[in-house]
Structures are given as C-alpha cells and as structure tokens.
Structure 1
Amino acid sequence: MDKLKLKALYTDLRPDLDQVEAELTASVQSDSALLTEASLHLLQAGGKRIRPVFVLLAAKFGEFSIDRIKHVAVPVELIHMASLVHDDVIDDADTRRGRPTVKAEWDNRMAMYTGDFLFSKAIASLSRVESTYAHQLLSDTMVELCLGEIEQVEDKRLYQLTVKEYLKRIRRKTALLISVSCELGALAADVDEKDRIHLRNFGYYVGMSFQIVDDILDIVSTDEMLGKPAGSDLLLGNITLPVVYARDEDGVKELLARIQRGDTTEQTRHELLAALRKSKGLEQAKRVSNLYLEKAMNEIKHLPKSSAKRSLQNIALFMSKRKF
C-alpha cells in the first residue's frame, strides 16, 4: 500500500518513467543470455525508482527533454542496482523485496559478475551525455560508494561505532548517489547553477534522512513488510544509528554482547528487536532523520514555484514517514 501511495506522488512522471524503464530493460541486454536473465531478475523485482524520479524532477527546472534525461536516469539506477547485488553477496542475503536475490537464484560468482556488468552498463549509458563534469561526478560517486561499502565491511561488529562514523558511512553508501541524481538531472537540463546547487544539497539531505529511516525500519518493521528478515543487518554486525544510541541500555547491551560472541539464532534476533523497539535509540535516530529532512526542505524553498517543486517536497515528506 505504501509503495502504491509513493507512486501516486509522481503519477505525472509516468510517461517519462515508462521510457526510463524501457531504456533500463534495453541497457541490460547482452550476448550472454544468463547475464541478461540475472540482470532482468533484479530489474523486474521492482523498487521505488527513487533515483530516476529525482533525476526527472530536477530536470523539470530546466530545458526538459526525456530523450536526453533518460541517459542520466538510467545510469544512476544501474549503479544502485549493482550495489544491491554486491551487498547481497557480502551479507549472504537470500531475499530482497520478498524475492530470491541473484546470489540465491544462481550463486555468488554470478552475482558479482552481474554487479560488475551493471556498473559497466551505467558508464556506457552516461557516455551519451556530452559533459566532462557529469562523467567525473558519476565516477567520483562510484568510488565513494565502493569506499562506503568497504567501510561497512571493516566496521562489522564495531559496537563502539560513533555517530560521526555512522553518518560518514551512510553519506557514501546512500546520500551521495541521491544527491548526484538531482545534480545530474539539473545538469542535463541546463538548470541555472544556483538552483542546481540547491537541488544537489536537497538530494544529499534527503538521502541522509532516507537511510536513517531505512535503518529504523530494519528494527520496527515486520519480515513481510521488508521482504527480508527484520534485524538481519544487526545480526550481521552492521551497526546502525538506533543501535549506536541504544547500545548501553540494559537488555540491548547484553544481547549485542551475545551476537558479538557468535550467537545469531532466531531467538536472539527476536529478543534484540524487542529490546531495541523499547529503547530510546529509535526516537533519537528519528530526531536526526528529521533534522536532515528540515535541511532538505530549507534547500528546496529557494527553488522556483512549480509542480516539480511540490513533488519533491511531497516525496521527501513521504520518504521520511514510510513503512517499507
């Protein structure tokens, strides 16, 4: 239901999104039937297409041409998809969005090749955009994304992770790609530089808020709503903001110690979720998420009045209140 509500917020973009979707499907075709099948398996699993939506909406503030803009919207989504495939290998995840992951459907090797294939297709798609800055921006973002993933691996079971370290990690892992989606959309549509900067900042702050909410939902949502076991990230040792704030509370502290010793049973998962749901960590994390949302809204105030501006505001608000 929530996903349907979100899609209703950008109904006006449906014709443009349909073209982006068709271009995504075309872009993952290859001489290898297996590679194409694995890529389509991920693509057809659905998803909110948040990054392409931000590309399209940012471009609405300039000279919008879907024939040009789609070659920016496609690569950011492909990069996002590639990172998910690699994530599932690192986390040994069998399901995503309620469907088997590529690594579960095939194997780790096939998943890694699929992720690499999607990264290369992203670069190929952006090559149609004649902007050195756009290419540099996206390549820098890919590097930062990889660094963020490596940091998460290095920080596993680092139960003394600081708030600053957590924020740095999600900046690289999530916020930068959403920020770049806004900036590239504006760039491809020749949006005024001042407005382009506001859109870039808006995307960054929304991305930070989005990831914190995602980490909250990993604790408060059900397995069915998430399409994967709730709290699975915590059992893997991925420490998130609610845990950082709650880790010294009675109950939580003891359960984290058990996980650190290798106790990752279903019972431990349920006990940890129950303890975190009663902790003060959730409210503190929500406050940080709301602070980033306020910053995003302050950025967007400077943009010209338009239906695109209203859509950005509505989507940002919805993302901060979502339950999936």
Structure 2
Amino acid sequence: MEKMKLKMLYSDLKSDIDVIEKELETALNSSSHMINDASLHLLQAGGKRIRPVFVLVSAKFGQYNIDQMKNIAVPLELIHMGSLVHDDVIDDSDMRRGRRTVKAQTNNRVAMYTGDFIFARALEYVTSIENPRVHQILARTMVEIVNGEVIQIEDKFRVDQNLKDYFRRIKRKTALLIESSCELGAVAAGVDPKNVRHLKQFGYYVGMSFQIVDDILDFVSTDRQLGKPAGSDLLHGNITLPIILLKDDPTIQRFIQRAEHGFVTEEERMAMLEVVRKSDAIKEAVKISNLYLKKAMKEVEALPNNPMKKKLRDIALFIGKRKF
C-alpha cells in the first residue's frame, strides 16, 4: 500500500523516471561479469528514487530538460547506491530491503570494488554538465558523505554521544545528498539564486526528517517489513536518536555492551525492542522529525507559485509519515 502511494505521487513524472531507470541500468553495465552482476542485483532491489525525483521537481522551477536533468539525477542516485554497498560491508549486513546484499552474495572485496565502480560511474556521468558549480557541489557532497561514513565508524557503540553528534552524522549520512539533489536540479535548470537557496534548505530539512524516520522505523517495524532484523542499527553499534534519548536505561546499556562483543541473543533483542517501543523516546523522536518537516514546509511556502509546490509538500509529508 505504501509503495503504491509513493508511485501515485510520482505518477506525472513516470516517463522521466523511466528514462532515469534506463540510464541507471546503462551506467551499471560493466565489462566485468562479477561487478556487472553485483551492480544489477543492487538496481533490481529497487528503491524509492527520492533523490532523482527531487532533482526533477526542483528543476521544474526553472528551464526543465530531461536530457540534461538525467545527467544530474543518475549520478546522485549512483552515489547513494554506492554508499549503500559500502555501508553493508562496514556493518557486515547480509540483508537489505528483504534481499541479500552485494557483500553477502559475493564477498567484502567484490562489494567494495562494486561500490567504487558505482562512484566512478557517477563522476563519469556528470562530466557532460558544463556548469562548474554543479561539479563543485557534487564534489563537496561526496567529500562530506565520506567524512560522514568515517564519523559513523568512529561513533560505533559510543554511548556518550549527544544530539549534536547525531544530527551532524545524519546530515552527512543522508540529508546532504537530498539537499544536493534539490540544489543541483535547481542550479542546472537556471533557477534564480534565492529560490535555489529555498530548495536547498527544503532538501536539508526533508533529509533530516527522512533519516530520523528511518531510525524510528528500525525499532517499531517488524523484521518482515524491514527486510532485516528490527534493531539492526543498534546491533551494529549505530547509536540513533531513540537510543540517545534512552541511553540511561539499564536494559539498553546492557544490550549495547553485549552487542559490542557479539553476544546478543534473540531474547535480548526482543527485550530491547520492547523497551524502546514502550518508551517515550519514539514519541520524542517523531516530534523532532516533525519539527524538521515544519521547517521544510516554510521553505516551500517561500517558493514562487508553481504546480511543483504541492508535489514538494506531498512528498515531504509522505517521507515524514511513511511506514516502511
């Protein structure tokens, strides 16, 4: 049902999204059968394509041209996909979206090179864009994403982190790429600087909400809905917002200690989930996510009249209220 709602939101963009899907398939084609199979496996796992959609919608505030926009949308989605492959190696994850990860299907070395190949393809695609500002924004984005990945490794199982640490991490992990999708779509389409700023800020606020909701769903959803064990973030040492709000709870502290040494039982996982689900931490995290959504809506209101304003609102609300 949720996926059908999302497709309905994108329905008037379907033909252009189909163009991007075909370009992604072309971009992931490699002369190496091993990398080719791994890349296509990732593509076939699907995804919400949030980043390409924000490129397209933002571009519609300017001079829209799908032949140009695909060369922005495709590399941004490739960067996202490549980072997922690397994430699964770092977290030693075997499942994503209910499917085996590239790392699980092959091995860590093949997965890392597959991620590198996808990043390289992203850089290759953007070379067709002449605007140097596009290259500067994309380069800055990639640098910050890598910094964010390193920070996430440094923060694993670190129970003394605070909200500032968490927000800094998710900005680099998720929000920055969504922010850049909105900014790059607008810049490439020649949107005036004032509205580029509004779209950029909208993307940042929506991206922050998106990741907070992801972190909430990791605890409140079922294993089946997630396509992986609920609580996987904490199992891998990623201290997310609900846990920061609950870090003084003895059950949570004990779980983190045992997870760090790889000794968690299924009973302990279920006990941890029950504590989180019954706590006020989930409600508090939802409130924080909604504050970011409210800020995003203010940025939309500041944009000029355009049919895409409603599209931005609808997608942002879907992201903030989604159940998967």
TM-score category of the 2 structures, normalised to the smaller one = over 0.9
Runs of 4+ aligned residues of structure 1 deviating over 6 Å after TM superposition are: none
* Per-residue CA distance 1:38-73 (angstroms, 9 max, x = gap): 111101110000000000000010110000000000
Question: Are 2:99 and 1:72 equivalent residues in the alignment?
Answer: no
Give, in angstroms, the shift of residue 306 of structure 1. 2.2
Match of 1:132 in 2: 132
Match of 2:91 in 1: 91
The amino acid that maps onto 1:288 is I
CA contact (8 A) 2:72 2:184 kept: yes
Give, in angstroms, the shift of residue 252 of structure 1. 3.0
Match of 1:17 in 2: 17
Give, in angstroms, the shift of residue 4 of structure 1. 1.5
The amino acid that maps onto 1:226 is L
- Secondary structure in structure 2 of the residue aligned to 1:158: coil
- Secondary structure in structure 1 of the residue aligned to 2:68: helix
The amino acid that maps onto 2:196 is R
Taking the aligned partners of 2:255 and 2:72, their CA distance within structure 1 comes to: 45
Match of 1:101 in 2: 101
Taking the aligned partners of 1:249 and 1:280, their CA distance within structure 2 comes to: 12
- Secondary structure in structure 2 of the residue aligned to 1:10: helix
- Secondary structure in structure 1 of the residue aligned to 2:323: coil
- Secondary structure in structure 1 of the residue aligned to 2:135: helix
* Per-residue CA distance 1:194-220 (angstroms, 9 max, x = gap): 111100000000000100000000000
Question: Are 2:297 and 1:302 equivalent residues in the alignment?
Answer: no
CA contact (8 A) 2:237 2:256 kept: no
* Per-residue CA distance 1:225-280 (angstroms, 9 max, x = gap): 11111101101111000100011135334433443454322222111111110111
Taking the aligned partners of 1:71 and 1:243, their CA distance within structure 2 comes to: 39
CA contact (8 A) 1:247 1:256 kept: no
- Secondary structure in structure 1 of the residue aligned to 2:245: helix
Question: Are 2:223 and 1:223 equivalent residues in the alignment?
Answer: yes
1:194-273 alignment, distance < 5 Å: 194-249=194-249, 251-260=251-260, 262-273=262-273
* Per-residue CA distance 1:277-322 (angstroms, 9 max, x = gap): 0111111111111111111000110112222111110010011010
The amino acid that maps onto 2:180 is V
Question: Are 2:47 and 1:47 equivalent residues in the alignment?
Answer: yes
Question: Are 2:190 and 1:190 equivalent residues in the alignment?
Answer: yes
CA contact (8 A) 1:159 1:239 kept: yes
Match of 2:36 in 1: 36
Taking the aligned partners of 1:146 and 1:261, their CA distance within structure 2 comes to: 26
Match of 1:317 in 2: 317
CA contact (8 A) 2:85 2:101 kept: yes
Taking the aligned partners of 1:10 and 1:304, their CA distance within structure 2 comes to: 21
CA contact (8 A) 1:137 1:180 kept: yes
Unaligned runs of 5+ residues in structure 2 are: none
Taking the aligned partners of 2:262 and 2:75, their CA distance within structure 1 comes to: 39
- Secondary structure in structure 2 of the residue aligned to 1:161: coil
Match of 2:158 in 1: 158
- Secondary structure in structure 1 of the residue aligned to 2:34: helix
Taking the aligned partners of 2:180 and 2:100, their CA distance within structure 1 comes to: 29
Question: Are 2:107 and 1:118 equivalent residues in the alignment?
Answer: no
Q: In the comparison of the two structures, how many residue pairs are matched?
A: 324
- Secondary structure in structure 2 of the residue aligned to 1:246: coil
- Secondary structure in structure 1 of the residue aligned to 2:129: coil
Identity %: 58
* Per-residue CA distance 1:7-58 (angstroms, 9 max, x = gap): 1111000000000111111111122122111111101110000000000000
Q: TM-score, normalised by structure 1?
A: 0.98
